[in-house]
Amino acid sequence: MKLINKISILAFITLFVYSCVQDDDYSVPQSIGFEENQKLVQLLSEIEDGSADLMSISEVKNLFVNGEVNEIESNLVVKGYVSSSDYTGNFYKEFYMQDDIENPTAGIKVSINQVDSYNQFNVGREVYIKLQGLYVGETNSGDGVIAIGGGGNAAGDEISEISENRASDCILRSSNSFMLVPPALNLSDINDSHIGVYVSALNAQFSAGLDGLTYVDPDEDYDTQRDLESCVDSGTLKLETSAFSNFNDSMLPTESSGTITGIITRDYFGDNRVLMLNTKDDVNFDSSRCDPLFADDFSSNNLNNWTVVNVTGEQEWEITPYGNPAPSAKMSGYSGGNNVNEDWLITNTIDLSSLSTATLNFQSVVRYNGPTLEVYASSNYSGGDPSTDGNWNELSVTLDTDSSSWSSWTDSGNIDLSSYTGGNIYIAFKYVSTSSGSATYEIDNVLVVGE
């Protein structure tokens, strides 16, 4: 059994003394309840005279130890701005808060045994939490979402909710309430640093295969995840919606694309990063769909979207049960030793005839040493040997260069194909190996979009 760690101010005094807010204005307007107001006035007085230390959300998160629950024994305080709302029932006995109303850098979950907390902790509300006697950990061990709670379980690896009575003493709102300005991000820019933060995902749409479905699968008792995809790159994200939300049976707006705004977190087991809505009104899909001109994540476990051409050598491009995520397309000239190879993987025809702009995006990983993979484009390939068929122009792309790791998947960047609009285009990956060097390349999430 793990013991619940106790965090003392002595262990962190050097960190906190430099992180305390230096602003001396802790005045609180008198519009909230008198008792709550008095508690906050007292707390701000303690911060001002140095008997309590004001921490940032990032500093609180740094107290987390993986697989453990930590009790805070010292008089520490954290301030934040509420980013989530349980008004529509999509959040339950929790709220998230972030460290600023604009350009936030960190967010955190607060686990509280209270429903309809939106009446008190509305989005944008400035909140101070007295951390002494509270705990830092995860509500579901291993989910990757750091939270503040009221206790620890017997195993010492999960926190419990802050009781409603206790919350009235340690979670204090000020009279300040602001309009949050969500960071505007493409799906590929969203990562775990945004957990707890209210963000706007730009250029997004629901996958076409979700047409005719609702936010929540009627056969699900708890929640449903629906796939979002990017119009500008290969970024993806899952939208998670609670079966208890008041929009669970609303139809997904699959006929359009645009901006969707919500809280970034992770699912129950921590397997997927997800976005959760405060309200369905935060889905602003006001543009037409942007279905890709060409997309292959190789999940079909075949190369039907490609022409495989073996110019030299016995090895060829193939599907491998690894990827970003698995599977992906792989080529290696190594078989019992280094072998001389020239092998091309060429897309089927991509029609750019009605477009004015187009871009290519993909990811790659390399292992072992050998000649660098090359990427080409052609507008007049006819299906033969590419060394003699078609005019091929090499594209400037970013490839993985860490040949020591299978985990160093690298994004190509968005490669401009606008010079090929008005007709057809073919994209080719040319692999070469020699008797002295044969790298292994994998590629995944090949995407061509345009408008």
pLDDT in tens, 142-159: 999 999 999 999 888 999
Cis ω on the peptide bond leading into residue 325 (within 30° of 0)?
Answer: yes
Higher pLDDT: 125 or 6? It is 125
Of 201, 178, 11, the closest CA to residue 98 belongs to 178
Q: How high is the pLDDT of residue 30?
A: 45
Q: Are 94 and 118 within 8 A, CB to CB?
A: no
Averaged pLDDT, 87-107: 98
Averaged pLDDT, 198-209: 95
Average pLDDT over the chain, rounded to whole?
A: 92
Residue 223 has pLDDT above 80, yes or no: yes
Residue 35 pLDDT grade (very low, low, confident, very high; cuts 50, 70, 90): low
% pLDDT > 90, the chain: 86
Of 177, 176, 204, the closest CA to residue 262 belongs to 204
184-288 and 294-450 in the same fold: no
Averaged pLDDT, 120-140: 96
Beta carbons within 8 Å of 447's beta carbon, 6+ residues apart: 233, 234, 292, 294, 295, 360, 361, 362
pLDDT in tens, 233-268: 878 899 999 999 999 999 999 999 999 999 999 999
Of 95, 63, 4, 43, the closest CA to residue 278 belongs to 95
Give me the residue spans of the domains in the chain: 5-177, 184-288, 294-450
C-alpha distances in Å from residue 179, one per residue of 21, 100, 120, 122, 186: 22, 11, 16, 10, 22
Q: Are 199 and 277 within 8 A, CB to CB?
A: no
Q: How high is the pLDDT of residue 424?
A: 97
Contacts 24+ apart (CB under 8 A), 184-187: 184/259, 186/230, 186/232, 186/233, 186/235, 187/228, 187/229, 187/230, 187/233, 187/235, 187/236, 187/237
Query: pTM for the complete prediction?
Result: 0.78
Q: Are 229 and 218 within 8 A, CB to CB?
A: no
pLDDT in tens, 42-65: 999 999 999 999 999 999 999 999
Residue 306 pLDDT grade (very low, low, confident, very high; cuts 50, 70, 90): very high
Averaged pLDDT, 227-231: 93
Residue 15 pLDDT grade (very low, low, confident, very high; cuts 50, 70, 90): very low
Of 57, 27, 30, the closest CA to residue 45 belongs to 27
Q: How high is the pLDDT of residue 31?
A: 52
Q: How high is the pLDDT of residue 34?
A: 63
CATH architecture of 5-177: Beta Barrel (2.40)
Residue 11 has pLDDT above 70, yes or no: no
Averaged pLDDT, 222-231: 95
Residue 295's beta-bridge partner residues?
447
H-run or E-run covering 164 = helix 164-170
CATH architecture of 294-450: Sandwich (2.60)
Q: How high is the pLDDT of residue 6?
A: 58
Residue 372 has pLDDT above 70, yes or no: yes
CATH class entry, domain 184-288: mainly beta
DSSP states of 347-387: EPPEE-TT-S-EEEEEEEEEESSSSPPEEEEES---SS-TT
Q: How far is CA 189 from the centre of its chain?
A: 7
| 117 phi and psi angles, rounded to 5 deg | -70, -10
Q: How high is the pLDDT of residue 232?
A: 82
Averaged pLDDT, 286-300: 92
pLDDT in tens, 160-197: 999 999 999 999 999 999 999 999 999 989 999 999 99
